[in-house]
Amino acid sequence: MDVVWCVVIVMLLIVTVSYVTRSSGVVDIRRTGSWAVVTGATDGIGKSFSHELAKLGMNVVLVSRNMVKLQTCAAVIEESYGVATAIVQADFTSLDKKMYARIREELADLDVGVLVNNVGMNLIHPEYFHVLDERHDDTFQNFINCNITSTVNMTRFVLSGMVERRRGLIVNVSSVFSQIPAPFFGVYSATKSFVDKFTNDLALEYKTFGIHVHLLRTGFVATKLSDMKRILGFVPDPDTYGRSALRETARRRDCDGYFGHWLTRMGILAMWAVVPSLAESAWKLVMSKSRDKRISKCEKCLGEKSVPITASPW
């Protein structure tokens, strides 16, 4: 067992050096265009991204479903950073063609330099796949609509303009669960794997047009919805993560956005490669305990009123 852990430590040291030294080339965000578009912009990571982009002097289009929050966030950004904002109300669990047509029209005349496809949905607790169909029968379609369709549509809405201008940065927010085994999160993880593949292929497809398509693979962040507390170096608050993630996505085509998230992912993958049976048992136990703890907050599972799909903590 000592040999196993030595191998794991050596592997982590090697990949740490690789992480510190590798870069895809720094993108000067200020030169991509005058407007940034952020989906899921009124809470958590999306809100932090909106503020960080405004700090760079970019005007920001805030896209979210809550009009009151949109108006509040827009006012704060305009007052704090002296930039312009636009707000677009949209519920991405919907496939409403009129909604998407309205979004496309709102963006048509803007010099969009940055798109952050941040919006994402997940259940409030881990769950067995077969039980989801019994207690949360709208889950599967909501995952696809919000995690996949929104990313594809928002990307195609801004891409033609970026091609014409020969510049732009698209950041697609994925999850660590797209790479590590994730029992009780199978459907959610699969939608994020789609985001990974979609992003990496577009990155190669549009590189010659001067357009950067980057993947941000988030880990655990201490948001209200994640129900997690900050752990120094590993579970940051949204503002800390947003600052780090924007810096990282500007210089890496595929990143975790935060060193602690990357280190956690590498550690889990290393354990799975070296001691798969132990890693499998330990990880499933962690997820199972998380399910037991958080399911008590699910009113639908307790036979009461419906629990809405919530923004993903991962």
Distance, CA of 119 to CA of 46 (rounded, Å): 7
Looking at residue 182, its pLDDT comes to: 86
Of the listed 81, 100, 188, 241, which one is catalytic?
A: 188
> Residue 168 forms beta bridges with which residues?
211
Distance, CA of 251 to CA of 258 (rounded, Å): 13
The yes-or-no answer on residue 188 being catalytic is: yes
C-beta of residue 218 within 8 angstroms of C-beta of residue 257: yes
Distance, CA of 238 to CA of 261 (rounded, Å): 13
CA distances from 38 to 46, 53, 74, 108, 161 (A): 7, 9, 12, 15, 17
Q: What is the mean pLDDT of residues 138-156?
A: 93
pLDDT digits (tens, 9 = 90+) for 163-172: 999 999 999 9
Token digits for 240?
Answer: 């800390």
pLDDT at 130 over 90: no
Distance, CA of 274 to CA of 312 (rounded, Å): 30
Higher pLDDT, 14 or 146: 146
C-beta of residue 187 within 8 angstroms of C-beta of residue 140: yes
Spell out the domains of the chain, with CATH numbers in brackets: 27-311 (3.40.50.720)
Looking at residue 309, its pLDDT comes to: 39
pLDDT at 232 over 50: yes
Most confident of 181-185, 241-245, 279-283: 241-245
| Residue 146 CB burial class (10 angstroms; 0-12, 13-18, ≥19) | buried
Q: How confident is the model at residue 95 (pLDDT cuts 50, 70, 90)?
A: very high
Distance, CA of 130 to CA of 126 (rounded, Å): 12
pTM for the model stands at 0.86
| Residue 181 CB burial class (10 angstroms; 0-12, 13-18, ≥19) | middle
Q: How confident is the model at residue 306 (pLDDT cuts 50, 70, 90)?
A: very low
